[in-house]
Structure 1
Amino acid sequence: MLYHIRFYKVPTISIDSKKDLVLKSVITITNDLGDKFFFGNVNLKVDIGVGLNPILLSWTSGMQSCNLNIPIPKRTKSISVNVIAEISSLDDVLEENPQFLRLKTLPFKLPSGTCERVSIRYDLLHPPATQSNNGSESIDRSTDKLARPQLTIAEEAGSNNLARHVWDAGLATCQWLVDNRTVSQRKLLGSPRTIVELGTGCGLVGLALSKLFIDSKVILTDLEDANEICNRNIQLNIAQTNKRKRDVHNVAFQVFDWDSDETPVEKDKIDLVVVTDCTYNPSSYDSLLKALSIVTRTGTKILLAHKYRDPDEEEFFKRLTFKKLLDTTVDYYSQSVRLLVMEA
C-alpha cells in the first residue's frame, strides 16, 4: 500500500524559554483517504534545509501521529521541511512492500505564529520519493525528452476535509498523462477546446492538464469547500509559470454541485470531462451520473480514473453507457489505478 507522510496538525513557529525559534507540528502516516494509519515500525528522517543533521523520529505500530519539535538556528530566514520514512527490517512491518510518499515542502519564511498552509511541489518528471523495504530511496524516472510540467500543490495541513488533500488516483492520472503525451493528446483525447474536471479537490489533475493543453480552457469544479484551496493552487502555479516567462492563464475554478441542473460551461463547448477518484462513495453515484449527463454531448471525451477500495464500487462502472476507447491499469508506487477514456 502507498502511504502519505502528512502534517496532522498545522505547523507553528514558537519561541522557547531561551528565545530561540522552534518548529512544532504533528506528523502522521496514512493512506490517501486518511482512514488507515500505517501499522509498523519506521524511522522518520526530518530535515529543515538549514545545513543541520537530520532529526530522527520513531514511528511504531499502533501510532496515529508523531510530535515534531525542531530548534531553528538563529538568523535563519526560511526553512523547508523534508520528511522521509525508512524501514530498517522486514520484521518491522506486517504488510508486503509498503511505500511512502515523502513530505517535502517549498521553502517558507519564518513568521511568528501559524503556518496555515504548506505548499508541496510535485515534479511530474521525478515524482515524490518513496523508500523501499531496505531503506533505499526509489524514484521512477522517465527517459522521455519532452518538457515536463512541475506543479506546486498546497494541501490543507491539519484538515480533515478530503477535498483539501491529494489522492493517489490523481497522481497516477498525472503520471499517465505525462508518460503518454503524444498518444493521449493526438489519438485519445484530441485537442479539446474546453476541459471540465468534476470533483477537482486541490486541483492537481486539472492544473496538470492546463500545462499539457496550453491552448485549452480548463475549468476546475467542485463544491464550495474546495474553492479556497483550489484557487490558491491556481495562483501558485500561475506565479510559478510567469517566472518562466510563459503566460498560462487558461485555468479557473467554478463551484458546481452534481445535483444541479445547470452546466458550469455551455455543453456544446465541452470537449473533455475529467473525473479522478470520485467513485469511492456509492451514495454519490446517482449524482455523479447526472452530472456526467449534464456536461457531456455526443462526441465528448471522458477521462475517468479510480482506485478500488470496496467491491461495491464496481456498480458504478456497470451503469456507465459511454463508448470505451481505453480501459487500462496504471501502476503508481504499488497502487493499481483503473483509467478509462470514453466517448459520449
Structure 2
Amino acid sequence: MKYFLMVDYYHIRLLKVQPVYAKGSKTGTIKAVFTLTTDLGEYFYPQHCRLQAVVVDVSKGKPTPLISECIIWKGYEVASTISLTIPATSNKLQLIILPQTITPNVSSHESHRILPVWSDSFSLHINEGPKYVWRYLEHNQWEPLGLCFMEQMGESIAKHIWDAGIVLSEKMIGQEPEWTFPKNKNLQVLELGAGCGILGISVASKYPNASICMTDLEEALGVLEPNIAKNKHLLHNNISTDVFLWSSQITPSLQKKWDYILMSDVMYNESSFSALETALKCLMCKQTKLFISYKKRHENEKAFMDHLLQWCSLEHETVLGSIILYSLVKK
C-alpha cells in the first residue's frame, strides 16, 4: 500500500452566466454567479483566496483577452457574483475563472487544488448565457491545453467530473508503473459508469493500441459523446460507447475477454452495489485487471470492496487522502 500527500480538490463551478446588452450601446455586461465547492457540493472552500476572472473573444479561433479582474472568494461563502463590462464589438465570448495560486493548508500536510472553469461560448448580443462549461486538465493560466471535458452548468452534481476520475486519469497518463498498460500490446478495455468520460478519454489519448468501450446509462451519453468528439484530434479512433445497465443481461457487444475494466466514482449509490458486483463477475475473466478509483464518502464503500476481495486478489492499493485506488484480478 502506498500513501501520498492528501490533496483536497475544489471546483470553481459556474451557476449562471448572463450577458446584458442594450441595443446601440458601446459596452455590454457579463453577470455571473459562481461557487467554489467539493465535487458533490458537500463543502465550500474554507479559506479566503484570490481568483481571476477573464473574458476572452473566441470569434477568430484563438482566444483574445478583453478584460481580466481579480476577485476574492470569502471562506465558506455559498456563492459569489461578478459583473464585468466589455466592448460591445465582440460576438463570441468565453468567461474563465481560475485560481491565482494554489493555497497550502495551515498544517502543511494538505494542499488545496482549485480547478478552473471555462464557460461555453456565448454572444453578448443574444442576452442568453451558455448552458455548459469546460474543464481542462492542462492549461497555461487561462489558455487551455490538451484534453477538455464538457460539464453541465449549475448546481446539479450529475454530468460533472469528480475527483477520483481526475486522480486515476492523471496516474494512468502520467505513466506510474502500477497504473499503466503495456504499450505495444493490443488491449480490450471496458469502462463502467463513464460519466463525462474523463478516464476513458484520457486513457485513449495515451494508448493508441487500446480499444476502449465506454459505458453508462443512455442519458449520460448526451455529455459523453460530445466530449469524445471534442477531443477527437487527440485520440486514435479507438473509442466506442455503449449503453449498459448493470442489472441487465450482458449484451453480445460486451461479451469479450477484457484485458482491463476501469471504474471511477461509481460507488456513491449503495443500492447499485449488488448489480455492479454481479456484472463484474460476468465481465471479468482470469486475464482481466480491474482498476477502481473512489472517494471515501461512507462506510458502505468498504463493505463493497470487502465483497470484491472475496473473489478478487488485491495487486496494488494507493491512498491519497480520501481518494483510494485499487488494482484487482480475479482469483
Aligned partner (choices 5, 21, 39) of residue 15 of structure 1: 21
Which residue of 2 is the match for residue 202 of structure 1? 196
Q: Does 1:257 align with 2:270?
A: no
Which residue of 1 is the match for residue 209 of structure 2? 215
Contact 1:44 1:59 in 2 (8 A): yes
User: What's the RMSD between the two structures over aligned residues?
Assistant: 3.3
Note the alpha carbon deviations across 1:168-199, whole angstroms, 9 max, x for none: 11111011112226664456x98453211111
Which residue of 2 is the match for residue 340 of structure 1? 326
Contact 1:281 1:313 in 2 (8 A): no
Contact 1:254 1:264 in 2 (8 A): no
Note the alpha carbon deviations across 1:234-253, whole angstroms, 9 max, x for none: 11011x33xxxxx7221122
Q: Does 1:287 align with 2:301?
A: no
Contact 2:41 2:157 in 1 (8 A): no
Change (3 A) 1:88 1:103: closer
Which residue of 1 is the match for residue 312 of structure 2? 322
After TM superposition, give the deviation of residue 266 of structure 1 in Å: 3.5
Change (3 A) 1:328 1:39: closer
Q: Does 1:306 align with 2:294?
A: yes
Contact 1:174 1:205 in 2 (8 A): yes
Note the alpha carbon deviations across 1:182-218, whole angstroms, 9 max, x for none: 664456x984532111111100000011112212221
Contact 2:261 2:289 in 1 (8 A): yes
Change (3 A) 1:183 1:35: closer
Contact 1:305 1:339 in 2 (8 A): yes
Contact 1:305 1:337 in 2 (8 A): yes
Contact 2:104 2:111 in 1 (8 A): no
Change (3 A) 1:296 1:38: same
One-letter code of the match for 1:48? V
Q: Distance in 2 between matches of 1:288 and 1:95?
A: 38
Normalised by the length of structure 1, the TM-score is: 0.78
Q: Distance in 2 between matches of 1:290 and 1:128?
A: 45
Q: Distance in 2 between matches of 1:337 and 1:88?
A: 19
Change (3 A) 1:182 1:95: closer
Which residue of 1 is the match for residue 168 of structure 2? 173
One-letter code of the match for 1:325? E
Q: Distance in 2 between matches of 1:295 and 1:128?
A: 42
Change (3 A) 1:178 1:275: same
Q: Distance in 1 between matches of 2:191 and 2:135?
A: 21
Change (3 A) 1:186 1:28: closer
After TM superposition, give the deviation of residue 227 of structure 1 in Å: 1.2
Normalised by the length of structure 2, the TM-score is: 0.81
One-letter code of the match for 2:167? A
After TM superposition, give the deviation of residue 271 of structure 1 in Å: 1.8
Q: Distance in 2 between matches of 1:295 and 1:184?
A: 20
Which sections of structure 1, spanning at least 5 residues, go unmatched? 130-148, 242-246
After TM superposition, give the deviation of residue 304 of structure 1 in Å: 0.7
Q: Does 1:156 align with 2:171?
A: no
Note the alpha carbon deviations across 1:19-78, whole angstroms, 9 max, x for none: 333223210111011222223433332122454553233333442111232222232244
Secondary structure, counterpart of 2:164 in structure 1: helix
Which residue of 2 is the match for residue 138 of structure 1? none
Contact 2:120 2:130 in 1 (8 A): no
Q: Distance in 2 between matches of 1:96 and 1:79?
A: 40
Q: Does 1:231 align with 2:237?
A: no
Contact 1:47 1:54 in 2 (8 A): yes
Q: Percent of counterpart pairs with the same letter? A: 23
Q: Distance in 2 between matches of 1:100 and 1:211?
A: 24
Q: Of Structure 1 and Structure 2, which has the larger fraction of its residues in strand?
A: 2
Q: Which protein has greater RCO, CA pairs closer than 8 Å, 6+ apart?
A: 2
Aligned partner (choices 42, 49, 53) of residue 46 of structure 1: 53
Change (3 A) 1:264 1:105: farther
Q: Distance in 1 between matches of 2:102 and 2:288?
A: 50
Which residue of 1 is the match for residue 10 of structure 2? 3
Instruction: Name which of structure 1's ranges 13-22 and 254-263 shifts more when overlaid on structure 2.
Output: 13-22
